[in-house]
Chains A and B, each alone.
Chain A
């Protein structure tokens, strides 16, 4: 139990601070990044992706990328050092959000299931973010009910032929590669008929279409597969063991959770001080509540990192952080827009720093749905932590192709 760095951590912090100071971007870019919440984009998306890749490449070349990775794959197996580096990065740490799927989720799945040749070829490029990966899981009829994916992979000579559609795939428009969860056997119960693959996104028959969101940005995509061929060597895990592989992917997200905590009550306090609202008792009470909650979230991240670094399995921390943090983004954004008052209705065109609360306002609902909706997380907490019984569900025992679906109109 200590709030301060160990001597080893303090030395690393000093080294990281010096390196970041020498390698950070010009003031204009840094100012822009301070206002960058979630996927909210004061810069064009392509420019931000390029910066995220560039910053990661600088880190990689200096030995500071993928610090949480196992040593065998070029990491340092040190989530505590990664957390320290992120603290020192300040606004630059936001870039990690662009690389979470590539460097945590897809990488973890490859580490667990790819051949050693594949790992040797692919992982260093992932660590440097030379390659961006996407994770093709959700479908129009498989969101929270992820195991209901219908994208079909059928055996053909030397591999598999894939047809179907994925949706809400973050970063697919930037990705060179992706992992794919597909149905290989529709005649067994849903979790048993799935298999995990990976493929190049420029494979013939793959079409990526960005989806414009309410914020105007388009970081999510839908993907169509039309007779796409995947060699059997690009299968990850056994045939029919795709759910197990998907769980590896989803669990790896917890390693990155600290990098995705997009709540900043200190900025809101600044806003309240600037607008003068801080003299109001109700504002002080509300802000105090958020500050307390944010402190709780950050300490929760620290508890989780400590558990991981001590080789213990973390408890309910990850689900708690996502559940509490997601709602908080929506609440804080709405509250901040109210505090800005008239300007909340119409911000100045261009780079108004207060746009950050607009972006939070648009991003909050996505955050509450993505990577485990609030409802799914509550089921996880209730069933796996509290031990409450599962609901009676027909889909777990029926063959997938006999599970009731919405009538086709």
Chain B
């Protein structure tokens, strides 16, 4: 399953809830304000590091760029994808769950 998260983890429980419920092997895509969760060295980074052992985490490149977050400031293991990568993830998974 593909999970998308569009809220900042500092402002919402969406990411925490998503990571708690996502099965091992799931794809998690951070979009819009959700991309702040990909930042290295934050109060939530340990939660992401732990999750990366079980799931794949992606962040949407155009949303990172809009917010001034360069790739070298992201947690190691998080992959950056474009809109085409978003489409590929959506079609590669049987279901898409949006954590609004």
A is bound by B: no
Name B's A-contacting residues (CB within 8 A). none
**A interface vs B, CB < 8 Å?**
none
